[in-house]
Amino acid sequence: MTNFLSLKFAGPAGMGIKSAGQLFSRALIAHGFSVHDYNEYPSLVRGGHNTYQVSFSSQKIFSPHYSVDYFFSLAGGHWQEHLKEFSGDTLVFGDENFNRPPSPAKFISLPIKQIIDSVGNSLVVNTVCLGVIAFLLELDTDIFTDLLSSQYGKLAEVNLNAFHRAYDYAKNNYSPHIRHLSGKKLRSPQILVDGNEAFGWGFLKGGGDFYAAYPMTPATGALHFLAEKQKDHSIIVLHPEDELAVANIGAGAAVAGRRVAVGTSGGGFVLMDETISFCGIAEIGMVYYLVSRPGPATGLPTWTSQGDLLHAVHAGHGEFPKVVLAPGNQEESFAFGQLAINLAVRLQTPVVVVSDKFLAESSASLPNLSRHKTVVNQGKREISPKPGYRRYRLDVPDGISPYTIPGQSDGEFLSNSYEHDEFGFATEDSVVAASMNEKRFKKNATARRLVPQDLLFGPKGASKLIVSWGSPSGPILEMLNRRPLPEYNFLQVRTLWPVSARLPKIIGRYRQIIVVENNQTGQLSALLKSQFSFAPHRQINKFDGRPYYPEELYHLITGQK
């Protein structure tokens, strides 16, 4: 008996590894399990080594685990790269004669080819694996019937045939290997959603109605998701020719009154820098969804990294207020997607939401996001401007001037990339320039009140503090949840800019500080050092394109296995 298990499918691209994994995850959710998945794939359309892993529990789970309980090799030889993930309790299935593999795991021959030949379709390899695992976990076959019928349409019959043949084979051959999950299952209805989809739902629930992006892994999922929602949610989704066009079209749409977000990864975000500065001086509120992958240049295009933190904070030349948010899980991706567009419109300045491949393309079980309440803040929108309207009026205590939508009578103004006066006319007057800069920077006080507060986890009286941001938050929480460390607290920094004034006081309570980041140079530490006296005792960094796992972090932090 255990309260969580992990499964991994592996094989070449084109064998339906991700589709089978997601179907299995949805089946687990339908049974009331908490789910967290992660998929890896090289930048190849066919072939290569692809994996989909899912960790699941009858209790809340925060991230996938490194250790694997069930491993399915959909093609021969794909298990060799994962030997370190196996234990003596791991069951490894594959259609091959395992000859003394160098692992304590149990290697079990699964006649995949024989089963698919009996079905008459070679495309059902992944479904064969689902039939086996459904038996081993004693899952409800009716749930799989519904899911397979829904997912495969005209091919449902052959997939159902493959599923039941594999289930029967497992029943006749694998009964001694049945396992059970202990504990009480979740009761509230859940869905499987990845970070990109969660951000997209949040953007829609914040009243977002214009999204532009050039496809760039790993942000493309948000583009595809929102494109599918155009008719039902009255949103315009554009795929321009490059990221320069994306950013400038988005800025134009925002000036015209649309609630705008644009999406990209690091290489595309570079091309948006000039538009970010334009948004700063013209006081255009729009959201930049930055989903990081390893650089520099093309780097590792299908892997994960937190190497763009300082790039996001310092994006755009010159000085102007901006907000940079970092969700730590899929639920926060939703919440920050909604908050970001409201902040952008309210503050009339760029808001950057920084995610990464691990968070954006991994899924978790969450309540149905489509049912959440829509919250739309229009900010200081001037509905009936009077003659002499000043778009950039200076006499505003919070630095936020009322805006109008083009076409309103008496609401004319210039949206100018030059420094300008209150009407938007270009000026080089030193007094006006200083006044405009001071006005814009007053927005920071409002931003500090509205941005997400950083979160502190753990028992009172702890003397050591783990500090991190973004996607490592899940593995850290999973580590602390499965193997409690009462001497440690965890501080999740959720707003990267402006840096919270509370941080020095919180951090100052602890005698030992450990910073965990998915980058090489410790960018969060560098950012905090630039704002206050910050001297962490240890810096844990990972920069090989892979995320952290709870077991790995436990070893790195405590030195224990």
For residue 230, give the DSSP letter.
Answer: H
Give the pLDDT confidence of 25-65 residue by residue, as tens digits.
Answer: 999 999 999 999 999 999 887 788 999 999 999 889 999 99
Last residue of a domain, one of 322, 343, 371: 371
The tokens for 265 are: 């990864």
Q: What is the pLDDT of residue 302?
A: 96
Same domain for 303 and 280?
A: yes
Cα angle, residue 365 at apex, residues 362 and 369 outer, rounded to 5°: 100
Last residue of a domain, one of 319, 340, 371: 371
In DSSP terms, which residues pair with 352 in a beta bridge? 288, 324
Same domain for 48 and 101?
A: yes
Q: What is the pLDDT of residue 99?
A: 83
Low-confidence ranges of the chain (pLDDT < 50): 1
Same domain for 445 and 461?
A: no
Q: What is the pLDDT of residue 197?
A: 98
Q: What is the pLDDT of residue 186?
A: 64
Q: Do residues 380 and 351 make contact, with C-beta atoms less than 8 angstroms apart?
A: no
Closest by CA to 9, choosing from 35, 31, 38, 47, is 38
Give the pLDDT confidence of 70-81 residue by residue, as tens digits.
Answer: 999 999 889 999
Residue 233: CATH number of its domain:
3.40.50.970
Same domain for 400 and 517?
A: no
Same domain for 245 and 365?
A: yes
Q: What is the pLDDT of residue 1?
A: 40
Same domain for 446 and 311?
A: no
Q: Which structural domain range is residue 8 located in?
A: 4-177
The rounded distance, in Å, linking the Cα atoms of 376 and 341 is 9
Same domain for 103 and 213?
A: no
pTM: 0.96
Same domain for 46 and 163?
A: yes
